[in-house]
Amino acid sequence: MAVKIILCPSCGEEIEIADLYEGLEINCKFCGSVMIYQEGKLLLLDTNEEFSLEDLESYEEEEEIEEEEEEEELYYDEEY
């Protein structure tokens, strides 16, 4: 089970993080970028940029749920 799903800061693909601890090395399978988790942030080794996990979290599931709710509301509005 994934602890978090983040978007790779280099290519934007989803990465599942199964465990999260200081010094964890995360590799993107799609573009090959390497990130290190340290002090609550991800350090992208290619560019030495730091990213917070909140900035990289994937919110796709939440957006899909909101879209479904909007579709249901429109459906009921059309019936009346």
- Full-prediction pTM beyond 0.75? no
Return the pLDDT at 56: 83
Work out whether the CA dihedral 8, 48, 51, 37 comes out positive or negative. Answer: positive
What is the full per-residue pLDDT of the chain (80 aa) written as tens digits? 557 889 999 898 999 988 889 999 999 999 999 999 998 899 999 888 998 888 888 765 444 445 555 555 555 555 55
d(CA 28, CA 76): 43
Return the pLDDT at 71: 58
Alpha-carbon torsion, ordered 75, 76, 78, 80, to 10 deg: 170
Return the pLDDT at 50: 92
